[in-house]
Amino acid sequence: MSRGHTDVPEPVTEACPITEVLDRVAGKWSIGILVAAAQGPIRFTELERTVKGISRRMLTLNLRKLERDGLLTRTVHPTVPPKVEYALTPMARELHATLGELVGWAERHRSAIATARAAYDDARAAD
Amino acid sequence: MSRGHTDVPEPVTEACPITEVLDRVAGKWSIGILVAAAQGPIRFTELERTVKGISRRMLTLNLRKLERDGLLTRTVHPTVPPKVEYALTPMARELHATLGELVGWAERHRSAIATARAAYDDARAAD
DNA sequence: CTGAATCCTTCAGGATACTG
DNA sequence: CAGTATCCTGAAGGATTCAG
């Protein structure tokens, strides 16, 4: 959350369920991981390859966060070499489905947004 | 987006509509503003009071971003003192509705997540 | 009232090397 | 293979001041 260096009591803002979801899904990678794991159980290295651009460190941190929130299960197979599989929990599958709605919105309005931006930008460019 | 200081071409990851939405709604405040404005046209100072904890700077920056993306309209009333009203566009209303789905998810699983966390945490506490 | 500008702190996240 | 441990940078965001 991070509220800077001051320490005002922050009277409101909490108890907001939207913030709750977003905090869970925030960051550059959480969703990518969720999507990659949606296909079925997936291994660490597979994730590293599938979620393009992610660093090993960020992958680990995000996996831990998602696991902690009960969105991912981590299964260690005591073989050698080690094999660890991550899978979505039912709760996470629901989330994944709901995110689909957002994707729908994004796809429907993608071009409208691009247009709005262009308009806004060259309205200011015309100073 | 910020990809750190390296400059790898980043072959994939883009064209992802989820990232598109999230980028638009990301940050601590965008959603709060959207929600506050969902009630109807709202003035700068009202937003400052409604979105608890936001700084004037962040409010301005986020308003500009949302306006640029075509999610908010900004209407200046040439009175004195100046009066500026912000309102959601139809596109933003749709988004607001869709976000409701996420809120639903959050509310349904809020306690499950809390439980998962507690379990995870004291599983490690028991080293 | 509605901002824009400046300065400063915190933190997410990248690179890399090392371990069981 | 599946991580952990360091170190470092850029961006987000808070405080404050100035201006139309």
pLDDT tens-digit readout, B64-117: 999 999 999 999 999 999 999 999 999 999 999 999 998 899 999 999 999 999
Q: How many beta-carbon contacts under 8 Å exist across A and B?
A: 117
Residue with tokens 């209407």: B75
* A75 Cβ contact list (under 8 Å, min separation 6): A41, A84, A85, A86, A87
Q: What is the structure's pLDDT at B13? A: 44
Give me the residues of B, 28-57, that contact A with CB < 8 A.
28, 31-32, 35, 52-53
Residue nearest to nucleotide C20 (CA to C1'): A82
pLDDT (tens digit, 9 = 90+) per residue, B43-53? 999 999 999 99
Is B74 part of the contact surface with chain A (CB cutoff 8 Å)?
Answer: no
> Which residue is associated with the tokens 């991981």?
A33
- Which domains does chain B carry? 3-126 (1.10.10.10)
- φ, ψ (nearest 5 deg) of residue B66: -65, -35
pLDDT score of B57: 97
The 8-class DSSP code of residue B115 comes to: H
Torsion of Cα atoms, B32 then B33 then B34 then B40, to 10°? 120
Helices within chain A (DSSP H only): 17-25, 30-37, 44-50, 56-68, 90-125
- Look at residue B2 and tell me whether its pLDDT is greater than 70: no
Ordered per-residue pLDDT tens for chain A, 127 residues:
333 333 333 344 456 777 888 888 888 899 999 999 999 999 999 999 999 999 999 999 999 999 999 999 999 999 999 999 999 999 999 999 999 998 899 999 999 999 999 999 999 877 6
